[in-house]
Chains A and B, each alone.
Chain A
Amino acid sequence: MPTLLQQQVRGDVVAGALAPVVSYCDVIDGHLHDVIDQTGEAARAIVEQLGEVDSLADVITGDAERLAGMLHRALGELESVRHTRRDQQIRTLVEQMRELNQLVTGIEETSRVTNTLALATMVSAVRAGFPAIDFSAVADEVRELARQSAEAARGVGSGIADITARLDSILADDQAGKGRFEALTETLEDAVIAARQVQRDSGALTVETAGAVGHAQFQDISRQMLEHVAGAVGDVCRQAEDVTAYTRGDLAEGELRARAIKVEDLRAKHVMSRQRSTHAQQTGQEAQSATEPLIELF
């Protein structure tokens, strides 16, 4: 059995040991609210960015639908001409057009999946504590789908351009045929523009996804803020144990005073300017504005 210290428990010593706990807890409270605000801001930013992804996926779906309509019309026009012109070259063009139609169907399907994924990720993002690993994997998947759309659109664009060129070549010596194919050529030209639009939108979608991935850095910042808070809570626990030990006669007054927590000790452990500013605010001190640039090249 350890020997109990022969000392009288003094109320002022206990009060003195407990007094800093209040300001300590004020600062901890401020830091916890910082984490709450910080995660909220980041989740909102992610949701906003995913909203852009979602909108762009919608736009791509619309673009692909228009493209499909144009190709369908062009195919119809080409097939109607095929009945009047029996040459092999026109039959080849019809086959090529059918293949392009399949590509466009692929783009439509990809955009639909992108849209669903973006929505599912948004739902995850608004849930507190969503696992960043899932978010990142989904973001990568969205990006891959967008890349596939862009590649397919590029294929469609060059395919149509090729068909148009071959059509021009077929009709080069056929003035009568030229007139009949005029509408078809125009439709094909419009389809090329639409395919380029799908490409541009898919590119923009990947930029938005990259932005959303960048926002996921908030998890690392929140983790550091919470580790800081956990350390401070540990200090308060230790102080409570010391006071208990003192009142039981297991800890000398001098040792209690020497080990006592001080709110200013927390300041030395701050890493972020936000932590320093919250500390100053919670302890009634004037906050020093951060003057250092966020990016500095030496």
Chain B
Amino acid sequence: MTTVMLVEDSATMLMSLQSILTKAGYDVETAGHGQEALDKLGKGVKPNLIISDVNMPQMDGITFTREARKAPGMRFTPILMLTTESDQAKRTEAKNAGATGWLVKPVGPDQLLGVIKQVLPEI
């Protein structure tokens, strides 16, 4: 089964995204912030795709992306930033940190699943 890791501090967003992804047949792993996600990767969780918020407590999404890229087997895993942030500088920073794409909230189920299909390698 394809596993998607959601890194998001908003409980509503987590519920909304989890609901959309589960219905589409994905297995979902969640983390409330970048550090928690990083800890899960360290404990052997191997998602096929990560969707991360940018502005979060403890560790933001861009730092998380940069750190996640150093984790074993995570070099080519797609990491999508899903955020309300619209600043171009942040977008460029995310790209340089190793993010695969940038999505501005709110994102519709069809849009989200469309992007996931685009970035997920065939399994």
Q: Which of B64-108 contact A (CB under 8 A)?
A: 84-88, 91, 95, 99-108
B23 within 8 A of A: yes
Is there contact, CB below 8 Å, between B15 and A220? no
Q: Give the docked Cα–Cα distance between A223 and B104 (Å).
A: 16
Provide the residues of chain A in CB contact with B101, threshold 8 Å: 295-298
- Taking beta carbons and an 8 Å cutoff, which residues of A are in contact with B? 132-133, 136, 139-140, 143, 206, 210-211, 213-221, 223-224, 271-273, 276, 290, 292, 294-298
Provide the residues of chain B in CB contact with A218, threshold 8 Å: 106
Of the candidates A206, A220, A290, the one having the most CB atoms from chain B within 10 angstroms of its own CB is A220
Is there contact, CB below 8 Å, between A217 and B86? no
Is there contact, CB below 8 Å, between A220 and B105? yes
Q: Give the docked Cα–Cα distance between A8 and B106 (Å).
A: 54
Is there contact, CB below 8 Å, between A214 and B20? yes
Q: Give the docked Cα–Cα distance between A294 and B107 (Å).
A: 9
- Taking beta carbons and an 8 Å cutoff, which residues of B are in contact with A? 10-13, 15-16, 19-20, 23, 55, 84-88, 91, 95, 99-109, 111-112, 115, 118-119
From the candidates A210, A221, A292, A297, name the one contacting B100 in the complex (CB within 8 A).
Answer: A297
Is there contact, CB below 8 Å, between A276 and B16? no
Is there contact, CB below 8 Å, between A292 and B19? no
Question: Given known contacts A217-B106, A296-B101, A297-B100, is B86 in contact with A271 (CB within 8 Å)?
Answer: yes
Q: Give the docked Cα–Cα distance between A217 and B16 (Å).
A: 7
Question: Given known contacts A210-B20, A216-B12, A220-B13, is B102 in contact with A295 (CB within 8 Å)?
Answer: yes
Is there contact, CB below 8 Å, between B109 and A139? no
Q: Give the docked Cα–Cα distance between A210 and B110 (Å).
A: 9
Question: Given known contacts A214-B107, A217-B106, A295-B101, is B87 in contact with A271 (CB within 8 Å)?
Answer: yes
Q: Give the docked Cα–Cα distance between A295 and B104 (Å).
A: 6
Smallest CB-CB separation from B115: which chain A residue? Answer: A295
Is there contact, CB below 8 Å, between B19 and A139? yes
From the candidates A206, A221, A276, A290, name the one contacting B106 in the complex (CB within 8 A).
Answer: A221
Question: Given known contacts A210-B20, A217-B12, is B100 in contact with A298 (CB within 8 Å)?
Answer: yes
